[in-house]
Structure 1
Amino acid sequence: MLNSIGKSIFSYLKRADIILWILLISMCTYSLLLLHSVSQSISVNYFRAQLFPIVLGAVGAVIVSAMDYADIANFWYLIAGFSVFLMIYTYLFGERIMGSGGVDARAWIRIGSRTFQSSELVKIAFMVTFAKHLDIVKKRGEIGSFPQIVMLCLHAAIPMGLCELQGDTGATIGFFAMFLFMTLAAGVPLRYFAMLVGVVLVALPIVWQYVLKDYQKNRFVAVFNLDTDPDIRAGDGFQQWQGRISIGSGGLKGQGLGQGPRVRSNIVPFQQSDYIFSVAGEELGFIGSVAIIALLFLFMMKVLHVANSARDDLGKYICFGFFGIIALQSVWNIGMCLVILPAMGITLPFFSAGGSSSMCLYLGFGLVQSVHMRRKEIDGLHLKHSPPIRPAYRRTHEVKKL
């Protein structure tokens, strides 16, 4: 039995993208070290709390990668229906979180003693359903058809609209990033993106006036006035101000892991999740911060490499969807910590504490691995390398003339 298990593991490792796994394990190990440091100053053990979803997510990734992503995508209608049901259920019966400045979100459901953010799972579902939608349109040769583009936009608008109803603008932006990268990968004509830019520019004043809440507007304003307005530093910009100070205090090498005085005093709100980058900046300095950026960059480049080697367009679109999630969250979270972008509930992929985000990102990772492991297959049949066929030749004979 042990021999059989060993052969199965060896067979899996032989087909899997080991570099992707190494990068993922490196990021998660780094995350646990930072969370262990944060846990020393407060009563919550984030190291132990995060270890469980990491292990559970890794198991889920292996299971998903063992399945053919095309077979999963064939059940797109069930996945889409479940996603809409889950989002509506969360909006009606989910956990409501209210905070200062008008924060009012209902984006979590309670499962036992834990809460689960439904939009994180729906992001992975969207990777599958939207990739299938694009694949069907592309095979029909209608990727440049205006009616089909409208249908694709409506497909993306459903989860985005439901996220806004829940008060989760961060997830809305995440879905938009996935939509953007996946449609670019599908070869949607650039004129439609030009139209999209025009629509966004026209809609911005309307969104600012009638859609954004006061606390969201204040966070945008804080980015441009944080250095000059002490009232903003003490109010809506407090988190970003303190986070940037922590990053700057680390210098080149940092205060030392577990030795950061600001980390120990827990002065930066949500430093275990949204502002985990500030922990790395203070305790491991510029070198530790660059290490995070480098790991995420290499990981994203490897995902694009898998997309480029996919056996079909469906696999490529799935990979680009996953790339969109990681790219958007990485850029926005780090930009938020450096006061380049406004504060929003967007975590740093594979680094921030958060069971929902971690487990669901692992499922997305499993889909990417599934694409890689089947890159040499066509309709589930493995392509074997055959020896090259040599052209037949006939020996020539000299004919002596009599």
Structure 2
Amino acid sequence: MKTKRYFKGLLNYLRRADILLWLILAAISVYSLLLLKSVSVATETDYFRTQLFAIGLGVAGAIIITLIDYTEICNFWYLIAGFSVFLMIYTYLFAESVTGSDGVDARAWISIAGRTFQSSELVKIAFMLTFAKHLDILKKKGRINEPIQVVLLGMHALVPVMLCHLQGDDGAGIVFFAMFIFMSLSAGIQLRYFAILGGIVLIAAPILWKFVLSDYQKKRFTAVSNLENEAVQLDEGYQQYQGRISIGSGGLTGEGLFNGSRVASQSVTFQQSDFIFSVAGEELGFVGCVLIIVLLLLLMIKVLHVAHSSRDDLGKYI
């Protein structure tokens, strides 16, 4: 009887599930595992197992979350926000500093059971929920376009952006800023506010360049347009230059999965994470690169469709 009830419940869950979304996510996950298996074989470091564990954890978490009404989750926005701020500050205070010869000094990763975890990745989910709740409250009250409320929305987003800056991880801060922009657009905030924000960014850009950005951050911008310079190729543009060679060496169909000579020699730094695209380019060629872009494009289109079909504004913003 229990087994029958279990299978009935599973069948009902599958009927309600968005099968196409699950299939797209499964395809992306399998692709990532194949690429990381190649890197693992070449470098004798088991990135494959780590990724497989992360995917399994993600699937379990996704199933659990789908069984809970997102409205109920967002009702605890104050707890989510408080935990997020605590986690970011804790990371800044107690994380091991990641330094580099080019001036990198970041405190964005904490160690859990012998593995590193970037706390801002979890906070991105939390921000998605708290900011969606903030937008939903203002929309219901008809105050979404009041100047003071728009400023407060900006302050909401500024909290994780500044905490990321303190950690030395401005890349994550840019992601929070992008979330703020697109979620605000989806809520119907008037375009004049974005025009004002754009003007502020243009005015602040020279100040940020001169007084805020570190030398290594500036070099990351200038390296992209100077990759033909041999000095840049050996210094700040090394990763980009080597990545470009790997992608180009794959031609149309690549050297074959698990057969990349440059993957084996670890020519591209951080090829298992930041530059995994270079592995696809070398081993699977132009076809493999296009497949990644198509899969991610399908995911984004599907997510936008889900947002458009949501039962309420809160679901749409999330």
Q: What amino acid does structure 1 have at the position aligned with 2:283?
A: E
Q: What amino acid does structure 1 have at the position aligned with 2:311?
A: R
Cα distance in 2, alignment partners of residues 40 and 115 from structure 1: 21
| TM-score (normalised: structure 1) | 0.78
Q: Deviations over 1:192-240 (max 9, x none)?
A: 000000000001001101111010101111011112x110000000000
Q: Give the aligned partner of residue 308 of structure 1.
A: 308
Shift of residue 53 of structure 1?
1.2
Cα distance in 2, alignment partners of residues 23 and 115 from structure 1: 28
Higher-helix-fraction structure: 2
Aligned residue for 1:245, secondary structure, equals helix
Shift of residue 94 of structure 1?
1.3
Cα distance in 2, alignment partners of residues 8 and 170 from structure 1: 42
Cα distance in 2, alignment partners of residues 46 and 106 from structure 1: 22
Q: Is 1:265 aligned to residue 265 of structure 2?
A: yes
Please give the residue correspondences for 1:240-251 in structure 2 after superposition, counting only pairs within 5 Å. Answer: 240-251=240-251
Which consecutive segments of 4 or more residues in structure 1 shift more than 4 A? none
Shift of residue 9 of structure 1?
1.5
Q: Deviations over 1:32-69 (max 9, x none)?
A: 00111111121211111211111011101100111100
Cα distance in 2, alignment partners of residues 27 and 6 from structure 1: 27
Q: Give the aligned partner of residue 71 of structure 2.
A: 70
Shift of residue 79 of structure 1?
0.4
Aligned residue for 2:203, secondary structure, equals helix
Cα distance in 2, alignment partners of residues 154 and 258 from structure 1: 48
Q: Give the aligned partner of residue 227 of structure 2.
A: 226
Q: Give the aligned partner of residue 256 of structure 1.
A: 256
Q: Give the aligned partner of residue 170 of structure 1.
A: 171
Please give the residue correspondences for 1:138-287 in structure 2 after superposition, counting only pairs within 5 Å. Answer: 138-227=139-228, 229-287=229-287
Cα distance in 2, alignment partners of residues 246 and 148 from structure 1: 48
Cα distance in 1, alignment partners of residues 266 and 10 from structure 2: 42
- Of 197-206 and 94-103, more deviation after overlay is shown by 94-103
Q: Give the aligned partner of residue 317 of structure 2.
A: 317
Q: What amino acid does structure 2 have at the position aligned with 1:59?
A: A
Q: Give the aligned partner of residue 297 of structure 1.
A: 297
| Larger relative contact order (CA 8 Å, sep ≥ 6) | 1
Q: What amino acid does structure 2 have at the position aligned with 1:75?
A: F
Q: What amino acid does structure 1 have at the position aligned with 2:238?
A: F
Q: What amino acid does structure 1 have at the position aligned with 2:50?
A: A
| TM-score (normalised: structure 2) | 0.98
Please give the residue correspondences for 1:338-349 in structure 2 after superposition, counting only pairs within 5 Å. Answer: none
Identity %: 64
Q: Is 1:87 aligned to residue 88 of structure 2?
A: yes
Q: Is 1:15 aligned to residue 16 of structure 2?
A: yes
Q: What amino acid does structure 1 have at the position aligned with 2:278?
A: S
Aligned residue for 2:107, secondary structure, equals strand
Cα distance in 2, alignment partners of residues 7 and 113 from structure 1: 40
Q: Give the aligned partner of residue 397 of structure 1.
A: none
Q: Give the aligned partner of residue 337 of structure 1.
A: none
Q: Deviations over 1:260-308 (max 9, x none)?
A: 1111111100001001000001100001100000000001000000000
Cα distance in 1, alignment partners of residues 104 and 123 from structure 2: 22
